[in-house]
Amino acid sequence: MQEVEYESSGVPLEGYELTRRDHRQQKRLESIDRPTARQVAEERARERADPEIARRKYEAFKQAWELMQRFKKPDHEIMRWRVRLYCGHITETRRHREVATPTTHGPYSMVCPECGKDRSLIVAYEPIGLVAEPPPLPPDATAPPPPQPKKPTRAQLERRVAALEEENERLRSQGAVGTHDL
């Protein structure tokens, strides 16, 4: 599993002040929610009118839920995050351990467990730690491969080429003198 450098933003969370960007993003979220809520209400009305639609939808949901449960990640692959929501409350959320921030790859808003505000934007965050420690490697397991070295910069490569050219020239000059000895 790859190593991730977890990021923090807006720390300390208790003192975080909302920015213009936070207000814009929250407003955008809320503007998306209005038509979505209308569509959900219309869909629920159709389900009440036709119980067969509701039954088929429930079966599809049940199958999807069972499928998701089969692929559920173990606790040692889940990172806990302390987050501040747009509503001002501080709570905890979880993401896969390979995600460097809780706002990438997944929801960047959530229902606040304290005030119930639906779709409250995550405005600040800090990593807490994994839900559980990874299991120890068995004694016969091979160690994970060492991390790949970073690619050298152009300047480093140019210095290396210059050093090799100097060495090559030095060896050529020595070779011209020592070839008669063979």
Tell me the residue length of the chain.
182
Contact 97, 79 (CB under 8 A): yes
Question: What is the full per-residue pLDDT of the chain (182 aa) written as tens digits?
Answer: 568 899 999 999 999 999 999 999 999 988 988 888 889 899 999 989 998 988 999 999 999 989 888 888 899 999 999 999 999 999 999 999 999 999 987 788 999 999 999 889 999 999 999 999 988 877 766 766 777 778 888 888 899 999 999 999 998 888 765 545 44
- Edge to edge, the sheet with strand 78-85 lists 90-96, 78-85, 120-130, 109-110
Give the 3-state secondary structure of the chain: CCCCCCCCECCCHHHCCCCHHHHHHHHHHHHHHHHHHHHHHHHHHHHHHCHHHHHHHHHHHHHHHHHHHHCCCCHHHEEEEEEEECCCCEEEEEEECCCCCCCCCCCCEECCCCCCCCCEEEEEEEEEEECCCCCCCCCCCCCCCCCCCCCCCHHHHHHHHHHHHHHHHHHHHHHHHHHHHC
Q: What is the pLDDT at residue 1?
A: 59
The distance between the two most distant Cα atoms of the chain, rounded to a whole number of Å, is: 102
Structure confidence by residue, pLDDT tens digits, 112-165: 999 999 889 999 999 999 999 988 877 766 766 777 778 888 888 899 999 999
| Whole-angstrom distance, CA of residue 12 vs CA of residue 179 | 71
- Measure the CA–CA gap between 169 and 4, rounded to whole angstroms: 44
Instruction: For 48, list phi and psi in degrees, rounded to 5.
Output: -65, -35
Q: What is the pTM of this model?
A: 0.65
